[in-house]
Structure 1
Amino acid sequence: MIGTLNALVDLVERSSGEEIDVAAFARDHATTEYHLRRMFSALAQMPLSEYVRRRRMTLAGADLATGAPDLLTIAVRYGYGSVEAFGRAFRAVHGTGPAEVRRHGGPLSTQPTLRFRLSVEGSTPMDVTIATRPEFILAGHATQVPLIHEGVNPHIQEHIASIAPEEHVRLKALSDTDPAGILAVTAEIEPDAPEGSLLTYLHGVALDANTTPPADLDVISLEAGTWAVFSSSGPFPETLQRLWAATATEWFPSNPWRLRPGPSIVRYLEFTGTHATCELWLPVERG
């Protein structure tokens, strides 16, 4: 996967103004667009689309600072159909407009070319179980929250706090299949969504596919498939977030599995508010 990601970076460099067919590239490298975008985003700490935009605006800034052709020519060179669209993208990256850079040479914000390397320094020990599950249902209380990569998500906290204590008891009693108990489910988010993007968070439980969930609960139906189950124990949420990162930097690059579309599930085995022992369930398939 590390080699594939570097080949993708090289493709970005060769395609300064052309649309990149990420799906075709993924097929040519025996993977899927979903997994490729998830791995790129996790390792680069930005979506592929954002990296492409930053690199193109970096090159465009150099063109402008060195007195290159008119703005429309530069806009077309980097894949924009109008000076206005190019100007908006340019300002979003550099914080200043193309005309100002042409006159004053800057200031410019540079996005270096990425190069991915696999490092085992400070590696995170991971206990992993591969579980094949029949179809099942996730049922609970769902809401839309913004994606936050680091620290506690206050929107999720607010949602959980709004659920009455007796409802937590009812939910736990409904659980009748693995993963057992109360679950934190993240769903309906693009594989390389930037921070702040909306996602569906469901606080609920897993039900057998033949169980009819109560009508007042939100439901996510899941097909039969394979899950990688990672165990984690330590300060919350730092340990869980480090585990998330380690799946991308260490586990997936060295194992014959890739992510498939589907929600991620956190099962809390013990939770004190500052310390958590939990399982992270990720939907996977053989690479």
Structure 2
Amino acid sequence: MQWVDRMNLAIDYIETHLTEQIDPVEINRIMACTYSVFQRSFAPITGIQLSEYIRRRRLSSAAYDLQNTNHRVLDIAVKYGYDSADAFSSAFKRMHGITPQEARSSDANLKFYTRLTFTFMIMGVNEMNYRVLNKDSFNVLGIRRTTPYGGGTWAIIKSDGTAQKLQEIGGHLCDLGLCFGYDDEGNDDYMCGIEYSGEDIDGFDRYLCPAASWLVFTAKGTISGGILSQTWKRIYGEFMPQSEYNQLDLPTIEQYIEWDESTDTCHVDIFIPVHR
């Protein structure tokens, strides 16, 4: 089965279960990969986190129900997975700009997010350079946090002096960013750190990355031009669907060789754990 077919089947499953819990096991079966890998690859391809896509689709459907049925707001809230009318009203207003009660008006202005559809496109005019690296197990020392986005952890270590401490420990800039995946709210389990073989240090987290094979891609260009996000999108949108590699359920890694906002330049190596 082609990758594009699997993605459309996964979206079909999500669409038919908007009023139910999404079953990770079913996504595993459809995509032939783990749910966490599917979550991590979804945003680079589509530009939106999986949890945010599901939230928008549910609130789009809820708006339809409000305008076309006489069901109570609480009943509609529960139907789309909200524990209370207040929680539903808050989420609804953030997206639509009006309350559920106001949405019942015939002249209410509402937002609608359509379902995603994946289609085949001819790509490959621009080559993608990569290398395969077989690496023994290694330790990472740093700070691991779950924040609304990976940059949240970087903001923490840069503002509280932790990045400087890690630089002193390692003898070089804190250069590693490990993405472990996302929770149901789209928050990113992310670790900033350095490769480290010494003893544990109080106040720092530690992660042992097992021996694995890694695909290594390079994002090099301007920060403002979005070269990093573009490279991630090409990895999951062009390379992985057509390659003979499958991603392992290990964290992906970004190694920040250069990131200088004053000169708008960056050089980041992206490591994807894989097997053939």
Matching residue of 1:275: 265
Q: Counterparts in 2 of 1:172-211, with a 5 A limit?
A: 172=171, 184-187=175-178, 189-191=180-182, 199-202=190-193, 204=194, 206-207=195-196, 211=197
* Superposed CA offset, 1:118-169 (max 9, x none): 4345865321112222211123x547576367xxx766665789627xx747
Q: Which amino acid aligns with 1:229?
A: V
| TM superposition score normalised by structure 2 | 0.78
Matching residue of 2:6: 4
Q: Which amino acid aligns with 1:234?
A: G
Query: Structure 1: which 5+ runs fail to align?
Result: 173-180
Structure 1 stretches of 4+ with a deviation exceeding 6 A read 192-196, 269-272
Q: Shift of the alpha carbon at 1:75?
A: 3.1
The answer to whether the 8 Å contact 2:219/2:267 transfers is yes
Q: Counterparts in 2 of 1:108-119, with a 5 A limit?
A: 108-119=110-121
Q: Shift of the alpha carbon at 1:33?
A: 0.5
The answer to whether the 8 Å contact 1:4/1:29 transfers is yes
Matching residue of 1:175: none
Q: What is the CA–CA distance in structure 1 between the aligned matches of 2:273 and 2:116, rounded to whole Å?
A: 28
Q: What is the CA–CA distance in structure 1 between the aligned matches of 2:66 and 2:4, rounded to whole Å?
A: 33
1:261 is matched with which residue: 250, 255, 265?
250
Q: Which amino acid aligns with 1:56?
A: R
| TM superposition score normalised by structure 1 | 0.75
Q: Shift of the alpha carbon at 1:15?
A: 1.7
How has the CA–CA distance of structure 1 residues 124 and 247 changed in structure 2, closer, same or farther, with 3 Å as cutoff? farther
Aligned partner of residue 117 in structure 2, secondary structure: coil
The answer to whether the 8 Å contact 2:247/2:275 transfers is yes
Q: Shift of the alpha carbon at 1:264?
A: 1.0
Q: Percent identity over the alignment?
A: 24
Q: Shift of the alpha carbon at 1:230?
A: 0.9
Matching residue of 1:176: none
Q: Which amino acid aligns with 1:261?
A: L
Q: Which amino acid aligns with 1:262?
A: P
Q: What is the CA–CA distance in structure 1 between the aligned matches of 2:182 and 2:125, rounded to whole Å?
A: 24
How has the CA–CA distance of structure 1 residues 135 and 198 changed in structure 2, closer, same or farther, with 3 Å as cutoff? closer
How has the CA–CA distance of structure 1 residues 248 and 123 changed in structure 2, closer, same or farther, with 3 Å as cutoff? farther
Q: Shift of the alpha carbon at 1:12?
A: 2.0
The answer to whether the 8 Å contact 2:39/2:181 transfers is no
1:248 is matched with which residue: 236, 241, 249?
236
Matching residue of 1:231: 218
The answer to whether the 8 Å contact 2:177/2:192 transfers is yes
How has the CA–CA distance of structure 1 residues 148 and 28 changed in structure 2, closer, same or farther, with 3 Å as cutoff? closer
**Greater CA deviation, 255-264 or 105-114?**
255-264
The answer to whether the 8 Å contact 2:67/2:103 transfers is yes
Matching residue of 2:209: 222
Q: What is the CA–CA distance in structure 1 between the aligned matches of 2:85 and 2:200, rounded to whole Å?
A: 54
Q: How many residues align?
A: 267
How has the CA–CA distance of structure 1 residues 168 and 123 changed in structure 2, closer, same or farther, with 3 Å as cutoff? farther
Query: Structure 2: which 5+ runs fail to align?
Result: none
Matching residue of 1:212: 198
Aligned partner of residue 284 in structure 1, secondary structure: strand
Q: What is the CA–CA distance in structure 2 between the aligned matches of 1:98 and 1:159, rounded to whole Å?
A: 41
CA RMSD of aligned residues (A): 3.5
How has the CA–CA distance of structure 1 residues 32 and 169 changed in structure 2, closer, same or farther, with 3 Å as cutoff? same
Q: What is the CA–CA distance in structure 2 between the aligned matches of 1:24 and 1:194, rounded to whole Å?
A: 19
Aligned partner of residue 104 in structure 2, secondary structure: helix
The answer to whether the 8 Å contact 1:185/1:263 transfers is no
Q: What is the CA–CA distance in structure 2 between the aligned matches of 1:212 and 1:246, rounded to whole Å?
A: 36
Matching residue of 1:163: 164
